[in-house]
Structure 1
Amino acid sequence: MPKRTKHQKRPAPRAGAGDPRRRSFAEKVVDSPYWPALFAVNDAEARGDVKAALEIIHRTRDQLDKEQFWHPSRLERLEQMWLLGALIPRWAHSRWIVAQALQGTHARNKRRMAKAIDLALDVRGGPHPDRDREDDRIQILDRDWVYRQAFLYDLGGLEAFLRHHASGDLIAGADRIWEWARAPMRGVRLLRREPRHLFWEDPATGEQPTTINIGAGLMVDDGECVIGRIVPIDDGLMFETAPLRVPEEVAYAVSDEPDRWIDTLRDASGPSDREPGEIWTHRGLRDYGMLADVPYGLVDLAMEAGLRAFRHPGEEDDELEELFDHPADYPACLAAWLVRPATVKALRGGVPLEGHSALRGFIEFLHEPAASLVRDLTDNRKEAA
């Protein structure tokens, strides 16, 4: 039996069955006392007021636990901003703004959302035959990569949020966010990877951009291609979110004609029930955190397998091959685990000496804020001693 490729072993993460949006949007908010709370949290985030947003959520969450009204990814972003504070890099502030813009709750976004949904459906080959229209809409809003890109960038959702809703303080904390709003779609090939950087090639121009490695290459083999938006940051370049793995011909076409990327995907994609290995635009957008491009569902698995791969790079192991083709992927997975709110709280509660020694050995390979978190933990232990 031929060996399956890396991406065939890891199906896209699925949304939890408890998603409150399984009911129609109207049904959820009629007579709901939490509708004002939602807008209050939106306003607090748009001001950059993390404390106020969390206070509102905590006041209402006890009444909403059964339905998980506040999405876990939103809670995680806010808790990370609060717990890590000044350690949060400016590019993460930009990603926070992008996440706020994507929520699309403002009235002027109604037509923009509808058009982005239609574009995503078109790329996927039409409505899913086994879902009703409302369920298809929910799946697209929550899980479709094309919808996200079209809404935020091609249809101007991010720029509209910056102009009409984001406060000056929120924008001031971001990292070149206006340039993000106008970043073109690109098709690139992954040449090689290192713990701190990923090296790509633009097939149309020959340019070789280098992005920070926070996990964008984990789902991509060396030599494979992706499409995505590479944006500028203080420390170089990064993808504004995890890119989409595509066949070589798609990446070349997008590189040649970036403005036609949706047409290119539509022409290359099949029906929504496609086989693993084909273009998969339907994935859990919120299964990717603000501070890493490692899917939530892979972090724990990658932590275990990757640690062995990093310590023993020449060792053959089927389990390692399933998750890691290169030990350079591991530091991004470690960083994704370190900055989880639960991990931050646990580490600040006390780490054994041997744990500090192990973490210090990875500092040079970690990107922020994980690197500074480890330094702070080490400094605090020295002061306590």
Structure 2
Amino acid sequence: MSGNTLGTLFCVTNFGESHGPAIGCVVDGCPPGLPLEAADIQAELDRRRPGTSRHVTQRQEADQVEILSGVFEGVTTGTPIGLLIRNTDARSKDYANLVDTFRPGHADYSYFKKYGVRDPRGGGRSSARLTAPTVAAGAIAKKWLAASHGVRIRGYMSQLGPIAIPFESWDEVGRNAFYAPNAGIVPQLEAFMDELRRDGDSIGARIEVVAENVPAGWGEPLYDRLDADIAHAMMGLNAVKGVSIGAGFESITQRGSEHGDEITPDGFVGNNAGGVLGGISSGQPVTVSLAIKPTSSIRIERRSVDRAGNPTSVQTLGRHDPCVGIRATPIAEALLALVLADHALRQRGQRGG
């Protein structure tokens, strides 16, 4: 009931706190024989790490991963893979004023109500810092999915606050700090973020993730539906407040004649289903859209209460992402990879092959 483990056969248990000595995870269930070295994982961590542009937190963490177990002579052994990432640039003094108060919109309040104690330094366990081990685990899942099934997982930002980002090319996604698929809109995004940082405020974002070459047949028909497990995993990403598969909420206004993807001898005509029918993959690309809320740690003074319930005000200083969605793309990719790897193994266990 601890809620720190994701998966059934491909399992990831996440541990650590934002300002503790280290963070990490244990990946259990990865099949043996997969070529794996730290560089494979580091490449994904480098995409997520802080301090990479002026638009994200300036906390300087190298996020160097250490493989502690589960790999021998460059290949996975089938035993638990231990991954460790040391924290090297924590500034706990930035959170001294939050020991007895709660940030509006943050997990400070709910954590205290649940546990009776909390670690206020960097948000402790509720910090987005804990997404680094998720990305590390996802790197392993990504590599195994590509090697065993040819699955390719990619993501991009489709909206930053009020600014919609039209899709232009996958080639542009890795060339800017926003994971935006459109080079022409990047200057507008940069200007918007600079203004936001001057205001001491924050904003939300929308992220799209796509998994291609997913075979038909992965998933379960009822409680462990593929789309349900994807939504469950994505809601475990800090600041996610909405998840949709395929057409998502646009399905509300679509008629059945429009929404139902017709099938021809050449395949499906559309993909409103987002690659999942009845909880089972259809063989089409699996498409997921995420709504990311604005960061709760902002410089603007806001009303709150202290531990005794007395009125007070909170102003958060220190180094924070004015939009956590900017670094969310590789995390969302990792979560989708973890769910797909789990269901791939479940399908193999049920059907063989």
Fold shared, TM-score > 0.5 on shorter chain: no
Per residue, is there more strand in 1 or in 2? 2
- Select the structure that is richer in helix: 1
Q: Which has the higher contact order (CA 8 A, sep 6+)?
A: 2
TM-score class, shorter-chain normalisation, is under 0.3
Tell me the TM-score normalised to structure 1 length: 0.25
Report the TM-score when normalising by structure 2: 0.27
